[in-house]
Amino acid sequence: MKKTLKVLDLFAGGGGFSTGFLQANHPNLKFEITKAVEINQAASDTLRGHLGPEKVIQGDITNSNVKKEIFQSCGDIDVVIGGPPCQTFSLAGPARSGTKEMREKLKNDPRNTLYKHFIEIVDNLKPIFVVFENVEGMLSKKVDHGGIENKQVQVIELICDELESKGYSTKVEKSLSERFQVLNAADFGVPQHRKRIFIIANRLGIDSPRLEPTHGPEGCPYKTVGEIQHLPVRLPKISISKKLKNIDVITDNYNKSLSLFMRNIKELTDKENHFVIRQGLKKLYHKLNKEYNLIKDKKTYKFNNLSNFIELYNELVKEYGINTLGENQFLANHQSREHNFRDIIIFVGTKQGSNSSRFMNRDSEDYNEFLDSVYPYDRSKHRDTYVKQSWNKPSNTILAHMEKDGLKFIHPEQPRTLTPYEAQLLQSFPSDFTFCGGRNDQYRQIGNAVPPKLAKVIGESILYVYDKSKTTLSL
What separation in angstroms does the CA of 406 have from each of 15, 133, 251, 399? 22, 24, 25, 9
First vs last C-alpha separation in the chain: 22
What separation in angstroms does the CA of 155 have from each of 101, 142, 233? 12, 17, 45
What is the DSSP secondary-structure string of 308-326?
HHHHHHHHHHHHTTTTTTT
The Cα–Cα gap between 471 and 73 comes to: 29
Give the residue from 199, 280, 192 showing the smallest Cα distance to 232. 280
What separation in angstroms does the CA of 286 have from each of 266, 281, 282, 345? 9, 8, 6, 20
The Cα–Cα gap between 425 and 451 comes to: 10
Identify whether the C-beta of residue 391 lies closer than 8 Å to the C-beta of residue 330.
no
The Cα–Cα gap between 103 and 97 comes to: 11
Angle at 326 between CA 274 and CA 317, to 5 degrees: 95
Q: Which amino acid is at 77?
A: I
Residue 7's SS3 state is: strand
For the chain, give the number of residues. Answer: 475
Q: Which of 86, 160, 220, 436 is catalytic?
A: 86
Give the residue from 445, 397, 453, 396 showing the smallest Cα distance to 420. 445
Identify whether the C-beta of residue 455 lies closer than 8 Å to the C-beta of residue 36.
no
86 is catalytic: yes
Which are the catalytic amino acids? 86
